[in-house]
Amino acid sequence: MSSPRPINAQGFGGLSNEGLSESFDRSSSLARLQDDTIFSTSPGNAPSRLGHDLTPVESHHSGYSQSGHPNEDSIARAVKRHLVDPSSLQPSASSSPTSSTVDITRTHSHNASVFDDAGSVHSSHYTSSIHQLPGASVTHEIYKWTDNMEDQLSRRKRTQSVSLQRSAPSDPHLARLRDPGGFRRHFLASKASKLGRQPPNWMARTFTEFLALYGHFGGEDLSDEEGDDSDDEGYLGHATATPDEETPLIQQEPPQGNVTASKAVFLLIKAFFGTGPMFLPKAFANGGLTFSCVLLTFIAVVSLYSFLLLVETRNKVPMSFGDIGGHLYGPLMRYFVLASIAISQVGFVCAYMVFVGQNVQALLEAVSNCEWAVPLSYLIWGQIAVFVPLAMIRKIQKLSVFALLADVFIMLGVLYLFYYDFLTLGRRGIADVEWVINPVSFPMFVGTAVFTFEGVGLVIPITESMKHPEQFPRVLTGTMIGLAAVFLAVGSVSYLTFGKEVQTVILLNLPVNPLVNVLQGLYALAICLSIPLQLFPAIRIIETGLFTRSGKYNPVVKWEKNILRFGIVVVCAVVATAGSQDLDKFVSVIGSVCCVPLCFLFPPLFHYRAIATTFRQKAIDLSIIAFSLVCMVYTTMITISLWFDEAAPAPPVPRCTPH
């Protein structure tokens, strides 16, 4: 709303009805005055609206704040010059325009003198008589505000002859001392400054940052705004390729601009290192030692190149994984990407449930000396009692404690596995292995190898979270090389140690002793605590497609979503029970059907449409696309044919002698 001007060159008789029809709004007037030419360094330079030059008003200070905007004293002074003093209006004010103009000019000079000679203020106190003016019922707020400013100025104790600008604090942490932990942050920053170090990066210090990445899995905003006070209606803040009237105007920001290169390495390791390495020794037995080493290295190289293609495409099309597909190929492609993410996450959860069930079964047999023979299906369904409550959590940050414990337990299990492998190799030597290739089951290795590199959904969120995103390709390359070396070591060394007796879950090959039982139980607990993180993106994607509101203020919607979450957990248990007898084949199918499109199909497909211009770029993209299609079709068919073979699955190696 524009600020009303109480007077113009024609006096009150020339005021437009439009200018007087609006009530005075101080905020809009301030905005209008800040852009007005009247706030030049010399008031005398302001153009006169009365047909005469305004009398310059001397000032001993600029009247501008440190930010460059005029302060309230200057605004009041400028407004005062345009107001009419009721005492100066004579009954003959309707006489000639010339005399009226002269009287009004004198009024401006008198009003301006109210703020002259800083330190002495002459308030006219005319608010009681402004209603005698034409249109005063509309403009009286201007007069009242100006009069209040005069009163405030007259009550000031200090002199106005000197106006010192307050400098900004030298330490930015001083400005936020009142925030929670402000004194602690200021102390640590001061200590680091004295030692010549960089101040701590607070946002990257918490483990919650990694969990927030799961809230933006694949770059999608999967946060459930349950309990978020900023959203009164509870609409979901998911990213959509085509905004509509229900799309929030302000989207929730993903974590960004805080993570250094070293912390990005840590996040990538946590994103890629899960249960995959525990399945690799059996995968090496299915593929053969040489074939498996070569193909795993090739899968790592192609995965790295595909991830870099995805990052390059995202830099040109700054959207989420699904929205990139929708932008380049239409809405149907976006649905394919989101469906692949959801199905792959559900597949991971199913494999994890079988993994946990087998480890708990072996643990119970060991501690009871085979007296507790609990069927595997019971142990899988028993996990529902744990996963259903965790699946109801709306804020993924609340899972931080579980995820941190999971990472610690996984590292302990891997370290002990290496220790026992090298100890056994030193005592017994190399076991009976297939040195080149296993001609029967080698296709199964492809799906398991792709399953191992399961962190593609976190590539975009980690890129967005980096302080210097241009460093991400180098960080990703180094991390993938290190992870590939670790995966090769786990698969090859464990296969050389146990040979044909290697189990689908390598931890089942460890001897029965209290230490192994503890580590096996901790690793199973770690994967059990990781399942809610893997399930969270799938739940949120499905909920986003089915519900338009979060249920924050609607109990019916909230309970419908609770029932859906319960149903997803039950479906995972059903699928896990069906694939529990052949876990290696089950993992291979998940990798071939769910992981291959995300890793090898979509990134080069998007890069081909968005960036590829040269023949070399297009040829590489098309080659990776062809490779992904072959992996999906051929390896899936072979694995399923082996799965339904008449031969019964090999029984697990007995871990104890019955009592």
**Statement: residue 174 has pLDDT above 70:** no
- Return the SS3 of 425: helix
Q: What pLDDT, on the 0 to 100 scale, is given for residue 608?
A: 92
pLDDT bucket at 92, cuts 50 / 70 / 90: very low
Q: What pLDDT, on the 0 to 100 scale, is given for residue 618?
A: 92
Q: What pLDDT, on the 0 to 100 scale, is given for residue 556?
A: 83
pLDDT bucket at 354, cuts 50 / 70 / 90: confident
Smallest CA-to-CA distance from 599 within 490, 480, 487, 482 is with: 480
Alpha carbons 133 and 113: distance in angstroms, whole number: 21
Average pLDDT over residues 399-415: 71
Query: 321-329 vs 289-316: helix axis angle to the nearest 10?
Result: 70
**Statement: residue 41 has pLDDT above 50:** no
User: The whole model's pTM is what?
Assistant: 0.59
Alpha carbons 420 and 520: distance in angstroms, whole number: 13
pLDDT bucket at 523, cuts 50 / 70 / 90: confident
Burial grade of 611 (CB within 10 A; 0-12, 13-18, 19 or more): middle
pLDDT bucket at 117, cuts 50 / 70 / 90: very low
pLDDT bucket at 238, cuts 50 / 70 / 90: very low
pLDDT tens track for 269-279: 777 777 778 88
- Return the SS3 of 235: strand
Handedness of CA 235, 239, 243, 249 (dihedral sign): positive
* CATH architecture, range 261-643: Up-down Bundle (1.20)
pLDDT tens track for 612-622: 889 999 999 99
Alpha carbons 378 and 577: distance in angstroms, whole number: 9
**Between 207 and 557, the higher pLDDT residue:** 557
Six-digit token string for 64: 């501008």
- Return the SS3 of 118: coil
Q: Which of 460-469, 524-533, 599-608 has the highest mean pLDDT?
A: 599-608
- Return the SS3 of 70: strand
Q: In the predicted model, what is the mean pLDDT of the chain?
A: 70
**Statement: residue 136 has pLDDT above 50:** yes
- Cite the DSSP H helix spans in 368-513: 376-382, 384-391, 400-428, 443-452, 459-465, 472-498
**Statement: residue 485 has pLDDT above 80:** yes
Alpha carbons 600 and 616: distance in angstroms, whole number: 18
Give yes or no for a contact between 80 and 112, defined as CB atoms under 8 angstroms apart: yes
**Between 387 and 31, the higher pLDDT residue:** 387
pLDDT bucket at 456, cuts 50 / 70 / 90: confident
**Statement: residue 649 has pLDDT above 70:** no
Render the burial of 7-29: b for 16+ CB within 10 Å, e for the rest.
bbeebbeebeeebbeeebeeeeb
Task: List the end-to-end C-alpha distance of the chain, in Å, as a whole number.
Answer: 88
Give yes or no for a contact between 584 and 444, defined as CB atoms under 8 angstroms apart: yes
pLDDT bucket at 631, cuts 50 / 70 / 90: confident
| C-alpha torsion angle, residues 223, 226, 227, 228 (rounded to 10) | 40
**Between 254 and 632, the higher pLDDT residue:** 632
Q: Which of 228-242, 321-335, 577-591 has the highest mean pLDDT?
A: 321-335
- φ/ψ (deg, to 5) at 648: -75, 150
* Domain map (residue ranges) of the chain: 11-154, 261-643
**Statement: residue 465 has pLDDT above 60:** yes
Give the DSSP per-residue string, 119-171: T-------TTTGGGSTTHHHHHHHHHHHHHHHHHHHT--S-SS--PPPPPPSS
What residues have CB less than 8 Å from 581, skipping those under 6 apart? 649
pLDDT bucket at 349, cuts 50 / 70 / 90: confident
What residues have CB less than 8 Å from 550, skipping those under 6 apart? 224, 225, 226, 231, 234, 235, 236, 557, 558
Q: What pLDDT, on the 0 to 100 scale, is given for residue 46?
A: 41
**Between 392 and 218, the higher pLDDT residue:** 392
Give yes or no for a contact between 442 and 287, defined as CB atoms under 8 angstroms apart: yes
**Between 357 and 275, the higher pLDDT residue:** 357
**Between 486 and 591, the higher pLDDT residue:** 486
Q: What pLDDT, on the 0 to 100 scale, is given for residue 132?
A: 65
From residue 119, alpha-carbon distances to 60, 154, 159, 163, 166 in Å are 10, 8, 6, 12, 20
The single-letter code of the amino acid at 611 is: I
Question: How many residues does this entry show for the chain?
Answer: 659
**Between 583 and 659, the higher pLDDT residue:** 583
Average pLDDT over residues 505-522: 82
From residue 511, alpha-carbon distances to 350, 362, 366 in Å are 27, 11, 10
Average pLDDT over residues 264-273: 78
pLDDT tens track for 293-328: 999 999 999 989 998 998 889 888 888 888 888 889
Give yes or no for a contact between 123 and 154, defined as CB atoms under 8 angstroms apart: yes
In this structure, of 238-242, 496-500, 583-587, the range with the lowest mean pLDDT score is 238-242
In this structure, of 12-16, 170-174, 558-562, the range with the lowest mean pLDDT score is 12-16
Place of tokens 């959509």: 240
- Return the SS3 of 87: helix
Q: What pLDDT, on the 0 to 100 scale, is given for residue 622?
A: 94
Give how far the C-alpha of residue 150 lies from the chain's centroid of Cα atoms, to the nearest Å.
50
